Structures are given as C-alpha cells and as structure tokens.
Amino acid sequence: MRILSSIAPLLLLIGGSLAKKAQTDSYEEFNKLAQRSSPIKLNDATYASLTTAPRNHSVAVLLTALETRFGCQLCQEFQPEWDLLGKSWTKGDKTGESRLIFGTLDFADGRETFISLGLQTAPVLMLFNPTVGPHAATSPEPSRYDFTAGPPAAEQVHSWLSRQLPNRPHPAVKRPINWLRWASTITLVLGVGTALVSASSYVLPIIQNRNIWASVSLIAILLFTSGHMFNHIRKVPYIVGDGKGGVSYIAGGFQSQLGLETQIVAAIYGILSFCAITLAVKVPRMADSKTQQVAVVVWSITLFLVYSFLLSVFRVKNGGYPFSLPPFM
C-alpha cells in the first residue's frame, strides 16, 4: 500500500504529461500498474484520468467507504471478494486482451468524486465501457451493479462483468488455496485421532455407553420434530414483542413459529415422552407397592396435564381445532 501511495503521484505526473500526447496510452500505463497490484487504489485525480471520455478500455471501479467510522458493513464484507476478483482477472489476462482495469476508490481518497457523482450510499460498482476502439459501446454512461441482495461473491460479480463484456476473454476467479486452514485441519484431525487413541481407555466407555447414545438420539429427535430445522432455514426470530410492551411466546399462524416457541414445544414433548417412558419402564420395576402407586398417580396426572396444555398451545396455532382436554380448555 505504501509503495502504491508513493507511486500514485508519480503516475499522475506521467499521466498528466502523456495525456496530451496520446490519450489512448493511458491504458498501457494503468495496465502496467495493475500488473503490480490489482485492483488499483485510486484517488480523485487518477479516477478522473482513468475514466475520461475517449478511452479504449473498460474500467470497473468500486466506490467504497472502508473506514470504520462510516460503519459500512457491506463495503467491508465485499472488499476481499473484490480484491480477489481484480487479482485473478489481471493475473489471468497478462496480455491485457480484455482491456479491463480494476480500480478501488475509497471515500477517504475520493471525496470530490463522491460529491460530483452525488453518491449517498456505498459501495457502488460502476463499469465504464470503452468509447473508442473495437469494443466501443454506444452509451458512454457506466452501468451499475445492483448490491441489493447483500454482499455478492466474487463469482457473481465476475458473471455480471462477463455479461457486460462480450467477445473478450473472462479469466475465471481463482481462489487461493488456504494453506493455513488445510494445515490446521490436518493437524486437528491428527491431534484428535492421537488423543482418542491414547485416551481410549477413558473414551471408549463413554462412546460405548448406551445411555449417552440414547439421550443424544432422543434429544436429536425432539429437536427435529419440534421444528428446529425450520428455525435454522428460515432464521426466525427467537422472540418478538406483542406490541404492548410484553413478549409473545407463540407466533400466530400455522406456518410460522418463534425460536422460543419451538423450545417450549420440545420441552413439552420431552416431558410427555419422559412420563410415558417412566410409566412403561420404570414404574413396573418398583418393588414397593406404595411408592409405585404414588409414582403412577404423579406421572399419569403430569402426562394428562401437559398433554392438555399442548392441545391448548396447538389451538392457538390452529384456531379451528376442536379437541381439548381439561383443565386447559
């Protein structure tokens, strides 16, 4: 970055001196720069010289606001993707056949440009088509990328650019191999493997413990049947207000639910299942008749009450449901 910033004024000088001589040569200059580091970091002056009207190259400029004080989440998230795209495009097109220059103009360096374009939001991605040369477009107006769908991946922007630039090579996005991640994954796998083998005398009883497997399976089943996957896919809110300052635990409507609601339902199912298990398995094994009688009464009443409550919750979801049990009528 520091090298760049020292080069930029130099480049300006060159650019300014060459501008009059041969306007079309500005591409060569910028391309040389881009070979060193793409996307090029622009400022007001370089932006102007890069996008001035008679140009025989395309320019893709990202106008962004990276400084933290602007709090532009989208800019921050998109920047690495944009850098990756610029880098891999320029690398894949060494000869400059596509005649596309990538540039980034941060608000800190290009306040004037932002004002002159009347930009209120960032990021903005503009593609300037060439006005002269074989790929000249009819309209000098740049086309804009639509950021409404959240931060796009480099591939998405790549396909947008490819559509805008027909009959030219479109070097594919090459994601660098994340060596660190591979290394850490392999180390982790080996480490865990070693740990398991060396601690097998402690781990094996846990793995082979039927109680643990039973409880894990039951919890998983309870989660799935109480709509956890729906929460996961639809990203429902955990809890919402009821508009009167309180909280509503149950979402109205058959096809919607809240995070807390599913947990309540899972708990209800859990209690009901536990009662059933106790009645079926535990109680007949009680040796003392008094204890057994108390246990049966307690658990079957709990079962009845909780089931009645479940039905009343379900009636909230489905208004026309006709069945209920006392006491939650």
Partner 1 sequence: MAAKTQGPAVGYTTESTRTLLRVVILCFIAAAAISSRLFSVIRFESIIHEFDPWFNFRATKYLVANGFHKFWDWFDDRTWHPLGRVTGGTLYPGLMVTSGAIYHALRTLTIPVDIRNICVLLAPACSGLTAFATYLLTNEMTTSPSAGLLAAVFMGIAPGYISRSVAGSYDNEAIAIFLLVFTFYLWIKALKLGSMLWGALCALFYGYMVASWGGYAFITCLLPVHALVLIAMGRYSTRLYVSYTTWYALGTLASMQIPFVGFLPIKTSEHMPALGIFGFIQLIGFIQYVRSAISGRQFQTFLVTILVATFGLGLLGLVALTSLGYVAPWSGRFYSLWDTGYAKIHIPIIASVSEHQPTAWPSFFFDLNFLIWLFPAGVYLCFQDLKDEHVFVVVYALFGSYFAGVMVRLMLTLTPVVCVAAAMAASQILDTYLSWKSATPVEEQEAPKKVKGGLRGSEKPNVGIYSNLTKVMVSGSMLVYLLMFVSHCTWVTSNAYSSPSVVLASRMPDGSQHIIDDYREAYQWLRQNTKEDAKVMSWWDYGYQIGGMADRPTLVDNNTWNNTHIATVGKAMSSREEVSYPIMRQHEVDYVLVVFGALLGYSGDDINKFLWMVRIAEGIWPDEVKERDFFTPQGEYRVDEGATETMKNSLMYKMSYYNYASLFPAGQAADRVRGVRIPDQGPVLNTLEEAFTSENWIIRIYKVKDLDNIGRDHANAAAFERGQKKKKPTKKRGARVLRVD
Task: List interacting residues with partner 1 (CB under 8 A).
Answer: 146, 148, 160, 163, 208-211, 213-214, 217-218, 220-222, 224-230, 232-234, 254-257, 261-262, 265, 268-270, 272-273, 276-277, 279-287, 289, 292-293, 296-297, 300, 303-304, 307, 310, 314, 317-318, 320, 322-323, 325
Cβ-based nearer residue to partner 1, 48 or 74: 74
For residue 207, CA distances in Å to 81, 195, 198 come to: 43, 14, 15
Nearest distance from residue 262's CB to partner 1, in Å?
A: 6
Work out how close the CB of 253 gets to partner 1 at its nearest, in angstroms, rounded to a whole number: 9
* Structure-token pair, residue 106: 């941060």
Judged by CB, which is closer to partner 1: 12, or 153? 153
CB of 316 to partner 1, least distance (A): 10
Q: Which is nearer to partner 1, 19 or 203 (CB)?
A: 203
Contact assessment for residue 311 and residue 328, using Cβ atoms and an 8 Å cutoff: yes
Name the residue nearer to partner 1 (CB basis): 69 or 210. Answer: 210
Cis (ω within 30 of 0) for the bond into 39?
Answer: yes
Reduced to 3 DSSP states, what percent helix, strand and coil does the chain have, rounded to the nearest 5? 60, 10, 35
- Smallest distance from partner 1 to CB 227, Å: 4
Q: Which residue has the tokens 């932002």?
A: 114
Q: Nearer to partner 1 by C-beta: 132 or 221?
A: 221
Tell me the closest approach of the beta carbon of residue 73 to partner 1, in angstroms: 19
| Nearby residues of 273 by Cβ (< 8 Å), 6 or more positions away | 218, 222
Q: Which is nearer to partner 1, 210 or 244 (CB)?
A: 210
CB of 100 to partner 1, least distance (A): 18
Task: State the DSSP string of 94-118.
Answer: TT-SS-EEEEEEETTT-HHHHHHHT
Residue 5's closest CA among 29, 32, 37?
37
Encode 195-235 in three state secondary structure. HHHHCHHHHHHHHCCHHHHHHHHHHHHHHHHCCHHHHHHHC
Residue 193, C-beta contacts closer than 8 angstroms, at least 6 positions apart: none
